[in-house]
Amino acid sequence: MKTHHVAAIMAALSVLGGCGGDGGAGDSVDGGTPPPGVTTYSEVTPTPGSVDTFTSVWVDEALNTVAEGYEERVTAVDPDGSYQLTLDDPSNQTITVNGITYHYNPEVAQYGATSANNVVSGYTDTLPSGAIATCTVAFRSGIHAKPYYVGQTFSTHETDTCGSVSTEYVTAGSVTAVESVTVPAGTFSALKESYSTSWTTASGQAIVMHTDLWMDPAHGFFTLKRVSTYERSGNVPVHHVTTQTIELQSRH
């Protein structure tokens, strides 16, 4: 998985609603030119057929913990560097706790060419009902330019449209460090990002997601670990998620 919040949270969990999981290379795309002498990290084209498996642990406001597993597959890579990712839970597990249903809807996300920073352009979700939701992503402003480097800042404003419903996401953050991170899949040298994303749901709930993300620069910035906490206001449901932790379990 990569940093794009659509694949990270929206397509993955039916309870959070909206369109489109910790997936994709469609990282928000500012940053400017790296300062002289700074180590930079360039995009790596994914390997066709590669599969990463993850655990996702959700905690709700009552401190209930829900653990799920899912996988992310590189299903296509084109000569221009564009590629397709599929997120799915092969076990098709559904867990309901405190009235919240946790279920990974199968998602296929498409990312653009290397020359366009591999930004996500759209995705489709297969909903629990079997219906297909087709979504497009339009960046209104901002980028997360490549190559990455420690000290780089970024901000984006994007609109995701699924059918007749459009949601605006505003993200701002920075690349904060290169550090070692240990997950069940092993110990890696990782790029760490910290960022916040805000949006308002169709029901009037305002959400701010604060995230620390450890990425693997040797594997196209795919996610090694992600920890997110949620601030909510407005029309907040009685039961809701407060934190999510994702960790890489295996890679092949």
For the segment 76-128, what is each residue's pLDDT rounded down to a tens digit? 999 988 999 999 999 989 999 998 989 888 999 998 887 777 788 889 988 77
Pairing of strands 165-183, 153-162: antiparallel
* Spatial distance between the Cα atoms of 178 and 233, rounded to a whole number of angstroms: 34
Position 165, amino acid: V
Name residues whose C-beta falls within 8 Å of residue 32's C-beta, 6 or more positions apart in sequence: 145, 152
End-to-end Cα spacing for the chain? 14
Position 179, amino acid: E
User: What percent of the chain clears pLDDT 90, i.e. is strictly above it?
Assistant: 62
**What's the structural domain count of the chain?**
1
Considering the domain boundaries, does residue 28 fall inside one? yes
Give the range of the structural domain holding residue 154, as residue numbers without chain letter: 5-246
Considering the domain boundaries, does residue 251 fall inside one? no
Name residues whose C-beta falls within 8 Å of residue 220's C-beta, 6 or more positions apart in sequence: 2, 25, 43, 44, 45, 46
Considering the domain boundaries, does residue 19 fall inside one? yes
* Spatial distance between the Cα atoms of 240 and 15, rounded to a whole number of angstroms: 8
Considering the domain boundaries, does residue 139 fall inside one? yes
Contact 178, 200 (CB under 8 A): no
Contact 74, 83 (CB under 8 A): yes
Tracing tokens 């700074």 back to the chain, one arrives at: 38
Considering the domain boundaries, does residue 32 fall inside one? yes
Q: What is the pLDDT of residue 42?
A: 87
Q: What is the pLDDT of residue 31?
A: 57
All residue ranges of the chain with pLDDT < 50 are 1-30
| CATH number of the domain that residue 162 is part of | 2.40.360
Considering the domain boundaries, does residue 239 fall inside one? yes
Considering the domain boundaries, does residue 30 fall inside one? yes
Considering the domain boundaries, does residue 252 fall inside one? no
Task: Give the three-state DSSP class for 215.
Answer: strand
